[in-house]
A and B are shown apart, each in its own frame.
Chain A
Amino acid sequence: MTKTQVHTNLMKSLATSIGLCLALLYNTLDLTAQQQISFVPKLYNQPIIVGHKYFLEQQKDSVQIDKLQFYIANIYFYLDATEVHEVAQKHFLIDIENTSSLELNCNLEEGINYNKIKFDLGIDSTTNVSGAMGGDLDPTNGMYWTWQSGYINFKLEGSSPLCPARKNEFQFHIGGYQAPYNPLQTIELALTKGNLSIDVNIEQLLDQVDLTQTYKIMSPNAEAVATSQLFLQLFQQSK
């Protein structure tokens, strides 16, 4: 055996023992972590069922939701005014049809009653110019525009007799990152009683846009930015 080989073996066993220690440490940490937040898409306080018809109270006609996907990013938890926890995973793709995506693993410590959460609805501009990415950001998720670079922050599709479009369909693809049409919104919510369930009240959007006029937003523009203002009212801690 040459000296280099001895050293390599030595290093190998060293690495293995460090690895073991880390694994043990990680396991003990894991016992206290794993707390998650959940998002519940709703229309007038009822959890939304895809393909089911609901009555729009403001516009007095029915609506059906076929698709709801959005990005939640850069989540921070606060105790009083102090930021105390930053969620390690930066970007989560929420998809109403993928129930496991509605639960976000935030690795929160148990027993702490955080009283504020802050997060972005959408993808920041730095991420938008950083090329191809994987996981929740993989372009196969259908949340990346193809003819012009940029993520779709929020996608809502469905139909209502109010829409003059083909098959009465509406499509809201709100995204992009370039000024002056950056629709990224930062949301802050007060949390009480350690309740980490958040409603996504879609009527806050559908009651505010006139579906007879506005039913197709497919690129970054002034209309997309205006619509993104409504996202500020979308979220509410579940009752």
Chain B
Amino acid sequence: MSLKYSILVLISLGCMGFYTIELKLFDYPEYFPVPEYNFDENPLEEAKVELGRALFYDPILSKDNTISCASCHSPYNAFAHTDHDLSHGINDEIGTRNAPALFNLAWQKSFMWDGAINHLDVQALAPISHPAEMGESIANVVNKLQNSALYRKMFFEAYGDSLATGEYTLKALSQFQLTLVSSNSKYDKVKVGKDSFTVQEQAGYTLFIKNCNSCHTEPLFSNYSFANNGLSIDTTLNDYGKWGISKQSKDSLLFKIPSLRNLSYTYPYMHDGRFKKLNEVLKHYTTGISHSKTIAKELKRPIILSSNDKVDLIAFLLTLNDKDFVFDPKNKFPRDILMSSEGFKK
């Protein structure tokens, strides 16, 4: 075997190893678009994902060590929160928005209901610092992590350096969240020919394509842009969405279009959690639209759905529930790590 040849073999073996690891940590069906997230800047690795998972579930990220990311983003709710319409943080402070579900984040261009955050890596700074959420500072979080034997070990395994930094803490949180891919609903199985829709679901699918798909675009069930879908303003909150960030009148009442996957797990619905049931959502789209200046052009004329149509449409929406994702053990609380002698529940 020549030197050249063996180098070639070594390189290709290396690539194959890399390829299989990538497949296991982050995988998606071929009918999904190319992700937005730049994985070259933060290549997924097992130890980093694991660190991110521990951080996500660890209340060490909050000021009084009581609130973790999972307090508001529960795995059993597709990482949304269902007890409250508005989120609850430290000292039982109430936030102003409903905690969104977290999945398929690698395809999102911007984050939060108003798009205030431009990159997944820096998203966690918002809840960590928010006085009504975790009430902490990233500098202090890093300090606490540097003083924890558990995290010195985990950072060493992930980054070859036992000292946490802000960059690594945030990137590890991204790593875990990027692995939250929902692509195994009945809809997905139909897509790859492993299942088929009932007559009712098929009728609902047709109605969906006609009335909803321009915003809640398949297969992610969102185009992740912003729209005013005609919700009347809640005068106790006065939330004008994207306008609050851009201060431009064209953005008034525009909110990020959420994915419609996993709706059975993510109620209540909308940025302020005003609807508890899908029936109420359909009632909104058919007879409840509030016509303000920035209303989306698709919603200017009323959407007409008979009561049968509504039943069909809901039947279709339920095919977007992804039980495999919601109950995937790899996404759950890392009991073995956080309940260990070095973890927070020691």
The interface of chain A, by Cβ under 8 A from chain B, is 3-4, 7, 10, 128-134, 137-142, 144, 146-150, 178, 221
Contact = CB atoms under 8 A, between A and B. Distances in A.
A140 B117 contact: no
A132 B116 contact: no
B55 to A, nearest CB: 13
A140 B170 CA distance: 11
A140 B128 contact: no
B119 A3 contact: no
A138 B165 contact: yes
Contacts, number: 79
A4 B7 CA distance: 9
A202 to B, nearest CB: 25
Interface in B6-29: 6-7, 10
A139 B6 contact: no
Contacts of A138: 165-167
B119 A130 contact: yes
A139 B166 contact: yes
A149 B166 contact: no
Contacts of A221: 247
Contacts of B201: none
A131 B116 contact: no
A131 B42 contact: yes
Contact of B130 (A130, A144, A147): A147
A12 B245 CA distance: 54
A140 B116 contact: no
Given A131-B120, A132-B174, 5 more contacts: A3-B6, A132-B122, A138-B165, A140-B142, A142-B139
B118 A149 contact: yes
8 contacts: A10-B3, A131-B42, A131-B170, A132-B122, A132-B170, A134-B167, A140-B166, A149-B118
A221 B244 CA distance: 12
B70 interface: no
Contact of A129 (B3, B119, B174, B245): B119
Contact of B119 (A7, A131, A134): A131
Nearest to A139: B166
A-B pairs, 8 with minimum CB distance: A131-B121, A132-B121, A140-B166, A134-B167, A132-B170, A146-B129, A149-B118, A146-B125
A58 to B, nearest CB: 31
A131 B138 contact: no
B165 A146 contact: no
Interface string B146-180: 00000000000000000001111011001000000
A150 B126 CA distance: 12
Contacts of B137: 142
A138 to B, nearest CB: 4
B92 interface: no
Contacts of B171: 131-132
Contacts of B42: 131
B237 interface: no
Contact of B165 (A128, A134, A148): A134
A8 to B, nearest CB: 8
Contact of A132 (B6, B128, B167): B167
A141 B42 CA distance: 21
A144 B167 contact: no
A148 B245 contact: yes
A130 B119 CA distance: 7
Contacts of A139: 122, 125, 138, 166-167, 170
Given A132-B171, A140-B142, A146 B130 contact: yes
A133 B10 CA distance: 32
Contacts of B10: 4
A148 B128 CA distance: 13
A129 B118 contact: yes
A204 B53 CA distance: 49
A66 to B, nearest CB: 17
A130 B117 contact: no
B25 to A, nearest CB: 18
Contacts of A141: 139, 166
B6 A147 contact: no
A140 B165 contact: yes
Interface in B89-129: 116-122, 125-126, 128-129
Contacts of A133: 167
